[in-house]
Each structure stands twice: as structure tokens, then as C-alpha cells.
Amino acid sequence: MFHCLRSAAALLFAAAMVFPVVASAQVAPAQANLLKINWGVPTADYYALYVAKDHGLFKEVGLEPNFFFFPSGAPLLAGLKSESLDVITTGMATVFALGQNIPLKVIYWSLDHSAAEGLIVDPKSGIKSFKDIAKAKAIAAPSGTCAQVSMVLMAQKLGMKYSDLNVVNIAPPLYNNAFKSGSVQAGIAWSPYSSVLQAAGYPIVNWAADYSPDGGVCPGLTSVRANFLTQHPDVGLKLVQVHAKAMDMIAKNPELAIDALVKYLSVTRDVAKHVVDQELSRIPTLEQQADPKSPYSLSAKGDAGLAHKLLVVSQALASVGTIPAPLSAKVLAESIDPTPIQRYMKGEGK
């Protein structure tokens, strides 16, 4: 499976490097004093990143990112392995990267995907909550994603086996047709697809916090290639600065986030507003990420904070054979770097 994933990812990444049309169109002209970075991002609801990009916040801290947008997180792995990408913002691809011993440093949460991840059902199915999931003849949840993790955790919560459920490996953009044809009666979808499906008449009967621990275990993270961070030790702090400023701008004017989603994801304004309303208050603050007692903490060790969430994710994926083995405590400790946020919280770069 990993060989196929790497091969497909390599082809997609190569295509993106040849045709970086979307990314390159808005990159500022190269200047000698700007540090150029290649940044990989799946097409998802990372509106703080889009706001920072469109408002020139990277240039303000001396960075010139060249963005490469992908249809999913998988192609990022090829870019990391070849060292063609320096920074990534993604969800489950982080777990796959660490599982393949790609040296990464996670430096901050960009989003909590759990906030807008939900169980979507056909209103004719008779499924009123996740407790009725056995009524579904087929459940949509793509392999290697937060959706599959949630199905594993849901089954565990109900005292069932994952294998007792007929989980269908299809992508959320295909859910609407699958529901219409009767191919599936339920599915796990994240933003913006959960909002799109709800608008199409398929209710969200539960959110991730109802069926997974700690309020959800689907972090959207920004990470830097370890060697790149070693070569440029201040880049982590600079990225945190940009994220903090973008989040401050959005807090003062949420319309910026809505506009960004309409632009980058081609969703309706109503869907974009629903996404922002559902997610914005759940994006971990830098204070929460710096707090060792927070469930979003980058500094907490073992059975707490981000390390614990990633461990739960990797255990769930390993239990159904999607990855060979869970991430070890050692790998997690070495891969999560709270230093940039800690430096920022002490006043550096403010």
C-alpha cells in the first residue's frame, strides 16, 4: 500500500511542480532579502493561510512562500521525501510522513478539523445518531483520513468491531451522488463537505466530539522539514508570527475568512459562512498550544496534548492495517517542536 501511495504521490507532485499555476500567480516578485520556501497544502479550509497569502503577511516577516496546492495530503509525502517542499500544512498526511520516518517538526495548529467533521446521513435511513450506525448498509469514509479514524473510534465506543461495518472507501466530493443513488446511507465528512452536504439536505446528526475522545482527534498542522528548520532556525518563529497576525485579522473581521473560502474552495457564501461559524472558535489559540495542560498543547508529553491525539490517530489507523504500526512516543516527542510558539509567547517577533 505504501509503495502505491508513494508512486501516486510522486506523479502528482511532479505534475504540481511543472504546473504551479494557482500558486505562482500571486507570489510576490523575488527579492534578495526574502527567504524562499516551498509550501505544500491540500485544497482544504485553511483560511488563515489564505488570508496571510492574499494580504502579504509573509513578506512582512521576510518570507517568500511558493505554494503548491494538491487535491489531498498524500502527494505531500513525495515532496517531503525529495526535499522539494520545505513546509506543509495538512491533516492525516502528517501521521503518514512520521510513520515513514520523514524528519518533520510540527510547529503549530492551523485548524482543528474535528470542529466541522460530522456524521452525515440519508434522512430516509432512520439513523438519528451514531448509535444507530449499524442500520447503515454502507458508510462512506475514505481510507487513511480522519473519517476512517472516526469510524474506528465510533465502533470502539459502541463496543463493535470496525469489520462489522461496511465502510466504503470513497472521497467526500462523491458523497452526494452516493447518497442519491442509495449506495451509502451514512458517511463521515469534514469541512467544507459536511456543510455542502447539509445544505443539500443530508443532516449532520453528530459532530466528531460526540464519537471521538478529547473533543476530536483530527488536527490540521503546519510542519517544517527538520533540515530546513536547522538551516533557518528563525523560520518557525516567523511562520507563527504570520499565523498569529492572520488569526487576529480574522477575529476582527470574519468576512476575510469567508471570502477566502469562497475564492479558494469555490463554495457558496452560505457554505463558507457555516464553515467559519463552526470552526473559528475551535481553532487552538497560541496560548492553548503553549499550555502543557491543554488538549491542544505542543509541549505536553505522553498521554496528553497533541502528542496524545496523534498517537490515538496512529493506533486507529494501525488497527485496521492502513499503516503498519502506531507512532512511537519517541517519534512524537522528536517531531513536535513547541519552541517557535514559546519564543513568540515570550515576546519575540511581536
With 70 as the cut, is the pLDDT of residue 2 above it?
no
- Tell me which residue has cell 457555516: 274
Residue 187 has pLDDT above 50, yes or no: yes
Question: Which of the two residues, 69 and 303, has the higher pLDDT score?
Answer: 69
Q: What is the CATH number of domain 118-215?
A: 3.40.190.10
Region 90-119: what's the mean pLDDT?
A: 95
For the ranges 106-115, 200-209, 297-306, the lowest mean pLDDT is seen at 297-306
Could you tell me the pLDDT band of residue 314, with boundaries at 50, 70 and 90?
very high
- For the chain, the structural domain boundaries read 2-113+217-345, 118-215
Dihedral angle over CA of 10, 12, 13, 16, nearest 10:
160
pLDDT over 90 at 264, yes or no? yes
Question: What pLDDT, on the 0 to 100 scale, is given for residue 317?
Answer: 96
Helix axes 255-265, 269-279, angle to 10 degrees: 120
Average pLDDT over residues 204-222: 94
What mean pLDDT, rounded, does the chain reach? 89
User: What is residue 103's predicted lDDT score, i.e. its pLDDT?
Assistant: 93
How much is the pLDDT for 78? 87
Give mean pLDDT, residues 74-98.
91
Residues in CB range of 15: below 8 A, 6 or more apart: none
pTM: 0.88
Cell output for 107 = 510547529
* Percentage of residues in the chain having pLDDT higher than 70: 90
Q: What average pLDDT score do residues 293-305 get? A: 88
Nearest Cα to Cα of residue 90 among 227, 206, 219: 219
For the stretch 51-74, pLDDT in tens is 999 999 999 999 999 999 988 777
Q: Confidence class of residue 229 from pLDDT cuts 50, 70 and 90?
A: very high
**Packed helices 146-157 and 305-319: angle between N→C axes, nearest 10 degrees:** 80
User: Hey, what's the cell of 189?
Assistant: 465528512
What pLDDT sits at residue 31? 60
| Whether residue 11 has pLDDT greater than 90 | no
Q: 2-113+217-345: which CATH topology?
A: D-Maltodextrin-Binding Protein; domain 2 (3.40.190)
Cis peptide before 192 (omega within 30 of 0): yes
pLDDT of residue 348: 85
Looking at residue 32, what is its pLDDT? Answer: 63
Q: Is the pLDDT of residue 147 over 90?
A: yes
Looking at residue 303, its pLDDT comes to 76
pLDDT of residue 72: 75
pLDDT of amino acid 266: 94
Question: Tens digits of per-residue pLDDT, 28-55?
Answer: 444 668 999 999 999 899 999 999 999 9
pLDDT higher than threshold 80 for residue 23: no
The b/e string for 146-174 (b: 16+ C-beta within 10 A; e otherwise) is: bbbbbbbbbbbebeeebeebebbebebeb
Greater pLDDT, 97 or 9: 97
Question: Cell digits for 37?
Answer: 520556501
Alpha carbons 328 and 341: distance in angstroms, whole number: 24
For residue 134, pLDDT over 80 is answered with: yes
Helix (H) or strand (E) holding 120: strand 118-121
Band the pLDDT of 75: cuts 50, 70, 90.
confident
In the numeric block, which cell numbers belong to residue 88? 506543509
Is 140's pLDDT higher than 70? yes
> Is the pLDDT reported for residue 162 higher than 90?
yes
> What spatial distance separates the first Cα and last Cα of the chain, rounded to whole Å?
45
| Cell 492502513, located at residue | 322
Q: What is the pLDDT, as a whole number, of residue 292?
A: 94
The reply to whether 118-215 shares the fold of 2-113+217-345 is: yes
